[in-house]
Amino acid sequence: MTDAAPEIFVALEQSSFAAAVRQSLWLYPAANVGHIVALTFFAGAVAVMDVRLLGGLAATSPAFLLARARSFAVAALAGMAVTGCVLFSAEASHIALNPAFQLKAALVAAGLINVAIYEFWAKRTVERLVPGATMPARAKVAGVLSLGIWVAVAACGRSIAYF
């Protein structure tokens, strides 16, 4: 299968870093556990943000809650990116061609685009809301899309091993 992979992925997989990941007794398992731990923190933070955007937790200030949860989400996303790169490097030529991984990558891009759209389209309005105020429809759309996209990303990530 490595013959069909683009050269950059073959080169990554053949790098000394990737070899060290594959040969280490602890590096790959540690990255795998780290990826799951980061995913757990990310999922929790995203769930809190999305529930608030959908009108839940209405007694809290949207600006405070969203800013706090966003800090956790950004840190967890960075952790997933680092650990994901370690995991990817070990089998880059195979994983790059994996349809579950390709869908996951596209969905991550969609999730980040959804964040950018929220930032420009709804964030200022949401941050000005007082506790108990009704969320605008555009914030609810962002919340629903976010929930769906990130759940699908996690499902694709778990499916990579089966393709």
C-alpha 115/C-alpha 56 separation (Å) is 19
Taking only the tens place, the pLDDT of each residue in 17-69 is 999 999 999 999 999 999 999 999 999 999 999 999 999 999 999 999 999 99
Taking only the tens place, the pLDDT of each residue in 93-147 is 999 999 999 999 999 999 999 999 999 999 999 999 999 999 999 999 999 999 9
CA dihedral 124, 51, 143, 141 (to 10 degrees): -90
* pTM for the structure as a whole: 0.92
Whether the CB-CB separation of 138 and 122 falls below 8 Å is answered with: yes
Return the pLDDT at 3.
Answer: 59
